[in-house]
Amino acid sequence: MDIGMKNKTNVDELSLFGGSPTFEERTLHVGQPNIGRRERLFERINDMLDRRWLSNNGPLVQELEKKIAHFLGVKHCLLICNATIALEIAVRALELRGEVIVPSFTFIASAHALQWQGITPVFCDVDPKTHNIDPVKIEELITPRTTGILGVHAWGRACDVDNLNAIAQKFKLKLLFDAAHAFGSTYQGKMIGGFGDAEVFSFHATKFFNTFEGGAITTNNDHLAEKISGMRNFGFAGLDRVIQLGTNGKMSEVSAAMGLTSLESIDEFINTNLGNYLTYASELEGIPGVRLIVYEANEKNNYQYVVIEVDEKAAGISRDSIVNILHAENILARRYFFPGCHQMEPYRSNFPNARLLLFETEKLTQKVMQLPTGTALGTPEIGYVCELIRFIVKNNAEIQKRLNSQ
């Protein structure tokens, strides 16, 4: 099989696949949406149109909030238009100000949500084993201006919640979680959603459970939930009564319709992700320098990310070269999280020395990549992706030579 690199990386002559033209040409993305039963979605949208109730805490939003709260075993679920606004609202509702400690190894929205509210994100290094904020490195970052910790459950793996709680209590800090990756995952057997003061989920199209755009704040705190409920609706507390500063963070009914439909298929989404993950695990086995990260066997994970760490020395080729070749083959692997929030603006200019404290983060941003998964993919595609990676690593010397001579 011609692996199609002719005009791209010029390594097609190396073809490992000589004469086995089996793979149908198409692009494989990271984060292709999962879509549930569309007839159920259309029914809901039809009813919604008949009702002429399209937004403003409609019946579909209320139904989805109840179902998610039940699914997560948390008292309150407040649906929001997206997770970034949800983080901003949560940050305001918790009265965070000054400085908040957050990992740099996260999607930029975690940092932006703080900065956008006039709060300084103070970047903390991560534990290379879990990719999550390292509790051991938090205390040294606490100053008189610190008001909170924003932990991120990277790849759906829970942060070290117990130790974060202990630090938060000791220093009287608020504890918020960016749970954008962690819908359906557990910590010590309990669903993520009820930890810290509040947790924030993303239901963006690229997350495995989506409402097109959307997010949620979950909490067991009644007072906080009421405050958030007002804040997402301009601070209204009655028809003509505004009692606090607010914004427009409402989720529309059509998004909730998608969410209810996605929720009906969530087991299927997770099982497909798990199956894909296991296929990757077996197909990648034995490729030097290419390691699939593993999750705790005693916890639930949604397996929405297939996260690879490339050890450049052992693989004989860099993560970036592998990603470039995959891209040339229409496999849009991604370098999440790259280059780390502290290397992006405005933080790069604001904190030019941040990287000195972010040793593990810097290393991870050079070696982590995501491979495509989700219901849009099957075993043949995964086999192809893995075969290609095996091929690239096996022929690393020749590939390097050719890449260098271009």
Ligand X SMILES: *Cc1c(COP(=O)(O)O)cnc(C)c1O
CB of 204 to ligand X, least distance (A): 4
Closer residue to ligand X, CB minimum distance, 105 or 391: 105
Binding span for ligand X by CB under 6 A among 35-43, 56-64, 106-114, 219-227: 106-114
Is position 256 an interface residue for ligand X (rule: CB under 6 A)? no
Nearer to ligand X by C-beta: 30 or 109?
109
Span interacting with ligand X, options 101-109, 140-148, 235-243, 357-365, rule CB under 6 A: 101-109
Q: Residue 264 CB: number of other CB atoms within 10 A?
A: 14
Exactly one of 65, 99, 134, 178 binds ligand X (CB under 6 A); that residue is 178
Question: Is 110 a binder of ligand X (CB under 6 A)?
Answer: yes
If one asks whether residue 232 binds ligand X (CB under 6 A), the answer comes out as: no
Q: Which of 34, 132, 185, 202 binds ligand X (CB under 6 A)?
A: 202
Only segment of 29-37, 178-186, 232-240, 276-284 that touches ligand X (CB under 6 A): 178-186
Rule CB under 6 A: say whether 82 interacts with ligand X: yes
- The minimum distance between CB 164 and ligand X, in angstroms, equals 16
Instruction: State which of positions 118-177 bind ligand X (CB under 6 A).
Output: 152
The b-or-e profile of 371-386 (16+ CB within 10 A means b, else e) is bbbbbbbeeebbbbbb
106 forms part of the interface with ligand X (CB under 6 A) = yes
> Of 83 and 388, which CB lies nearer to ligand X in the complex structure?
83
Task: Name which of 198 and 386 has its Cβ closer to ligand X.
Answer: 198
Q: Does 107 bind ligand X (CB under 6 A)?
A: yes
How far apart are CB 238 and ligand X at their closest, in Å?
A: 29
| Candidate list 180, 284, 331, 385; residue touching ligand X; CB under 6 A | 180
Residue placing its CB nearer to ligand X in the complex, 110 or 395: 110
Q: Considering CB under 6 A, how many residues would be counted as binding ligand X? A: 14
Residue 333 interacting with ligand X (CB under 6 A): no
Closest distance of CB 292 from ligand X, Å: 20
Among residues 178 and 309, whose Cβ is nearest to ligand X? 178
Q: Which region, left, alpha or beta, applies to residue 193 given φ > 0 means left and ψ of -120 to 50 means alpha?
A: left
Q: From the list 11, 28, 109, 225, which residue makes contact with ligand X (rule: CB under 6 A)?
A: 109
- Determine which residue in the list 31, 41, 68, 84 makes contact with ligand X, applying CB under 6 A: 84
Q: Min. distance of Cβ 73 from ligand X in angstroms?
A: 22
